[in-house]
């Protein structure tokens, strides 16, 4: 499965050992077939890193494997958090050890209000923020604290989902396509929020994205996933300059 420009060599040389999250030769799949073949990632503490790739490249599958969802099944390789293998851990244990996720779809609990959604995270986190502290990042949500999530717009729900993840006061925040399906001005607002969470709260952020422009706006280091393999690890400059690369792997 290894080619001459296997990303793991690049990652190994550029990343210091003892990264917060390491994914090593991960292979995973569903009943219908294998999706991930060889995924290598290393995210250092305090970093803001993206995983880019076309539709169907395996981005969400990677996220689910890191978070320990029921599916996909991990077929090989390792996921290490703070140097410890977490592959056999149940999802809630990973959350309790400081990983929070903002999922791609069904981001909030629809029948719970803003406050209830955030409280839930606070009640189940080891070292949570206070309610007001978490909501302070989102003045937009201030007027709708009692509103049920199902009655909110997509952008508001996304903010609530991020507020909920933030309230758990995680060390690592995973975001699955945080800009998907949002109006351009909300995309910019979410960009700011994610960047602030990384810069001001010191939370390591790893996100999956198809919207290359938005990813370039906030992250400087990007992994590129294609057909279930990491094909490269690049900087924003490289993506901006190399059109052939963009065309080939990102379709833009």
Which residues bind to another protein, rule: CB under 8 A? 67, 69-70, 90-92, 94-96, 100-101, 103, 106-107, 109-112, 116, 119-121, 123-125, 164, 168
Q: Where would I find the beta strands (DSSP E) of 82-203?
A: 84-85, 99-102, 172-176
What is the closest distance, in whole angstroms, from the C-beta atom of residue 9 to another protein in the complex?
32
* CA distances for 207 relative to 47, 181, 219, angstroms: 11, 16, 9
- Least separation in angstroms between residue 127's CB and another protein is 11
Q: What torsion, rounded to 10 degrees, do the Cα atoms 198, 100, 109, 35 define?
A: 110
Q: In the complex with another protein, which residue's Cβ is closer, 38 or 171?
A: 171
Minimum CB distance to another protein, residue 187 (Å): 22
Smallest gap, in angstroms, from Cβ of residue 95 to another protein? 3
150/248 with CB nearer another protein? 150
Strands 172-176 and 99-102 come out as parallel
Asked if 29 and 35 count as a contact pair (C-beta separation under 8 A), the reply is yes
Residue 70 or 132 with smaller CB distance to another protein? 70
Q: Measured from the CB of residue 110, what is the shortest distance to another protein in angstroms?
A: 6
225 neighbors 212 (Cβ within 8 angstroms) = no
Compare residues 118 and 250 and give the one whose CB is closer to another protein: 118
User: In Å, how far are 65, 112, 159, 189, 236 from 150, measured between CA atoms?
Assistant: 27, 8, 13, 21, 36
Residue with smaller CB distance to another protein, 173 or 224:
173
């Amino acid at each position: 499965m290894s080619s001459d420009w296997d990303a793991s060599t690049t990652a190994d040389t550029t990343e210091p050992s003892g990264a917060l999250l390491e994914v090593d030769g991960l292979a995973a799949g569903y009943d219908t077939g294998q999706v991930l073949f060889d995924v290598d990632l290393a995210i250092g503490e305090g970093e803001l890193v993206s995983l880019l790739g076309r539709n169907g490249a395996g981005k969400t599958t990677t996220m689910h494997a890191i978070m320990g969802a029921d599916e996909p099944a991990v077929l090989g390789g390792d996921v290490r958090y703070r140097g410890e293998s977490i592959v056999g851990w149940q999802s809630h244990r990973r959350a309790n050890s400081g990983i929070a996720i903002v999922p791609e779809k069904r981001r909030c609990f629809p029948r719970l209000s803003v406050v209830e959604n955030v409280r839930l995270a606070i009640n189940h986190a080891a070292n949570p923020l206070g309610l007001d502290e978490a909501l302070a990042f989102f003045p937009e949500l201030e007027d709708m604290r009692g509103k049920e999530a199902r009655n909110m717009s997509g952008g508001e729900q996304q903010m609530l989902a991020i507020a909920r993840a933030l309230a758990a006061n995680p060390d690592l925040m995973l975001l699955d396509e945080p800009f998907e399906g949002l109006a351009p001005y909300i995309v910019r607002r979410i960009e700011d929020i994610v960047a602030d969470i990384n810069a001001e709260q010191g939370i390591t952020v790893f996100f999956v994205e198809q919207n290359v422009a938005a990813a370039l706006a906030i992250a400087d280091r990007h992994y590129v996933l294609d057909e279930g393999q990491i094909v490269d690890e690049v900087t924003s400059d490289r993506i901006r300059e190399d059109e052939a690369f963009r065309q080939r792997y990102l379709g833009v």
